[in-house]
Structure formats: C-alpha cells, structure tokens
Structure 1
Amino acid sequence: MPEDNRDLAASAPLPVDIDLLVEAGDWPPQSDLLHLVERAVGAVLAELQLRWTGRSELSVVFCDDARIRDLNAEWRGKDRPTNVLSFPAFEAEEGFQPPMLGDIVLAAETVAREAELENKPLDNHISHLLVHGFLHLLGYDHETEEEAEDMEAVERRALARLAIPDPYA
C-alpha cells in the first residue's frame, strides 16, 4: 500500500470515542499516547474494513506493573505483570456494534523493558500492543495456533499501515 494511503487509513475520523487515563508509570505525554491510540484503532478498522453506523467507546489505561499485576492475578489467575490486558465490554458478534468496546490496559515497566530488549522504538511497541489489545476487544484471540496465526496476520497488516516493522519477524 502506498505510504499516503497508509497515513490516510490510519487518520480517518474514528467512530470510536477514546477515554484515556494515565494512571501510573513513566509514559510519554498524554497527547502523544492519544495520538498512538487513535492511529492504532484507525489502522485496525481500516485493515478489517469495519464500518460503524453509530459510535462506540474505548477505554485505554496506561498504568504500572504493580497495577497490571493485580489485574492479571484477579482476572486471569496469573500473579505477575504482563504487557497488555484487554477487557471486552460485550461478547464480539459479527455485525454487532457495541456502545462500549471495553478496556485496554498497558503496563509501563514491562512495555519499556520489552521495547529495549527487542531494540524497538517505544512508540512502535506501544502501537503494537494497542493493536493487539484492540483486536482482542473485537473478538480475536490466540489460544490455538490457528487463532494466533490469524490474529498475528491482522496485526502485521495493521502495523504496516502505520509503517511499523513486523514485530514477529
């Protein structure tokens, strides 16, 4: 896809209202984070060619490892921090446009550590995790090998729209 089309697809007006909270952790400025969220959501919607007739709401929380560890323990039974968690507000159904998509939560220390270990720009890694988390809210998963392959393929294409290299390469 030509570069200008990628930018256009990722910057089209969104049918999603974004509620962003920087709860804790060493994150870029809130305005930068909002820009990353808008671009990630836009790229996924463009890649999947999803068309909303109304509006939906998405909550994105930027927190620290302590907070995401608590959430991971409570909701997944895993007493350790993780990079991103998604909490869908509704069961995903084809053709169903929920008024609330759900919550995406990212953890500062884990995200920064992973970006450094993988020698990736922090913004690129945040964008990847936002795409990943948003796909979970839309019903994608990676519990089986086939599901993982499908989800990763959409992630790669959405990130390519943002000129972000394949995180799985």
Structure 2
Amino acid sequence: MGEIASLTSKPPFRILVEILKFSHAEARMILHKYYHKNLIPLLMKHPASMFMTDAWPEPSGVQNASAFGAFPKFLSIARDTNCLTLEEVIFKMTGLAASRFKLKNRGIIADGNFADLVVFDWHQIQDNTSPEKCDAAPTGISHVFINGIPCILDSKLTNQKPNGEFII
C-alpha cells in the first residue's frame, strides 16, 4: 500500500478504498511485516500463546499462504528451534485454541468429540508456500479426517466432503 501511495501521491487509506471499490470488495492482500524468524519461537513459547489462522482457501485467484502453511510452519519451527515439544505445539493449535474459542467437542481426542485428525510425520512436516507459490501443499501430511471423513489419504485429496457440524 505504501509503495502504491508513494507512486500515486495518494494516502494509503485512499488506495485501499479504491482497490476495494474496483474489486467489488474482493481484493486480498498478505502482510508479511509481522514475521521475524527470531521472534516467532519466543512468541510461541509464551504461556498465553496459541496458534490459529484466519485464512481459508479461496475458489480462485491468489491464495493466502497461511491457509496452506500456517500449521506446518508452527510445527516445523517448534521442531527446528526446540522452542516447544511436539505435545506442546499440538496442544496450542488444537485443545488450547478450541478451549479459548469455546468450541465444544473439538480440539482433543475424546469420546463424543468430533473426529478431526491430521496424521503427519514430525520429522518431515514442512510449509512449502512462498510468495511465488502461495498454495503449495505442505510436506509430511499423510491423512486428514474432518468429522471422521477422510478428506486426505496417503497425501492425496479424496474428494469426500465432511458432513455435520463444523464449529459449534
């Protein structure tokens, strides 16, 4: 936004409004300014931290890389920096997040809970997204089950759609 504002001599907010108007409020942007590789492990270790993303895959256009790589990135950072154990990093992205957002029957494996499971290799999990390839699949995930429905098996989409309740 700053670069466009400088080139056009318009305030950044005006540029944002014009882009939203021109795109019928469908423009997307990715902000990388909050990421610093030395800061992230320190933040991850903090007792109040948990891991989440507000990104989702879009049907078309440039994707938000977080929709594809946020959780693999948290896992690989924890592994590579030893800032958290496997159990700690998983809890911060599942049980703790579900509890904090008051998501019932989610976040931990227990009788009566939804069967949302990701099977991955702790030594291979890796975010593969880049500014050039925002929708690159992560490495190291072999199976994904949502509400007990296998959505990914042997690292391949199954085309099965999860049914039932998603959030509450």
Shorter-chain TM-score bucket reads under 0.3
More helix by share: 1
| Greater percentage in strand | 1
TM-score, normalised to structure 1, is 0.27
- Flag the structure with more relative contact order, 1 or 2, with Cα contacts below 8 A and sequence separation at least 6: 1
TM-score (norm 2): 0.27
Look at both structures and tell me which one has the larger radius of gyration over its CA atoms: 2
